[in-house]
Amino acid sequence: MTLTVEKTAQQVPEPLRDIFIELKSAVVWLHGHWIVYRQLYGKSPERVELLNESAGTFFNLLQNILLHDMVLAIARLTDRSEVCGRENLVLGQLVEKLDSKSYSELIERLREHLIIISTKCEIFRKKRNREVAHSDLMTALKVDVELPGVSRQMFEDALAAIRDYMNEFEIYFSESSTAYEYFSMNSDGEALIWQLKRAADYRDGVNEGAIPRDRILKSRYRTA
């Protein structure tokens, strides 16, 4: 992925090149985290049952961690470009640092995308500010208006808007786009699920008497 990003970035104006590379990498991994979340928790009721049987408390904690991480990542990407005199790596940088005379039409299209992104991501920014990165007292005590929950579809819609924005920029300069939603990893959620299925079969084998109950004591990882 790094080589592809750098090759595409060669067509981007020099002042924006490094920013584009880092933003693209951030958006790629944002999708990677979401893919893992869907693999673990969004496939089927049977898969959730497998997680609960294997280590229910751990996988419940992991689910919350992944969701909080997604909220933080989306909020970071949609923050203001500058806070307290320091610049942030945000989506808006791709618009603000483009030369307005040379790229006026592109800037207009990108700004339209940013309006959509702002609408789709506002709930995540509120969640970040009041529940995830900070613990707003009135929210925690449910004195203030309680924030609505976020659904998987809300995440999907936000990611789609971010993809459209990034690809609008990339297509203009390189005539190519990135299929962020199909990012693949060698050891992802599916790899973990496969091992959990094997562990479930092992437990069944022990219960059925097909595998000795002390077999685990001979494991090469018995002292891990």
Work out the end-to-end distance of the chain between its first and last CA atoms, rounded to an integer number of angstroms. Answer: 34
| pLDDT bracket for residue 3 (50, 70, 90) | very low
Q: pTM to 2 decimals?
A: 0.87
pLDDT at residue 32, rounded to an integer: 97
Q: Residue 21 above 70 pLDDT?
A: yes
Average pLDDT, the chain: 91
Q: What's the CA gap between 144 and 171, in Å, rounded? A: 44
Host H or E run for residue 163: helix 152-174
pLDDT at residue 2, rounded to an integer: 44
DSSP structure string for 2-67 = HHHHHHHHTTS-HHHHHHHHHHHHHHHHHHHHHHHHHHHHSS-HHHHHHHHHHHHHHHHHHHHHHH
Q: Residue 117 above 50 pLDDT?
A: yes
Host H or E run for residue 119: helix 104-127
pLDDT mean over 192-197: 98
pLDDT at residue 145, rounded to an integer: 61
Taking only the tens place, the pLDDT of each residue in 29-83 is 999 999 999 999 999 999 999 999 999 999 999 999 999 999 999 999 999 998 8
pLDDT at residue 37, rounded to an integer: 98
Per-domain boundaries in the chain: 2-183, 186-224
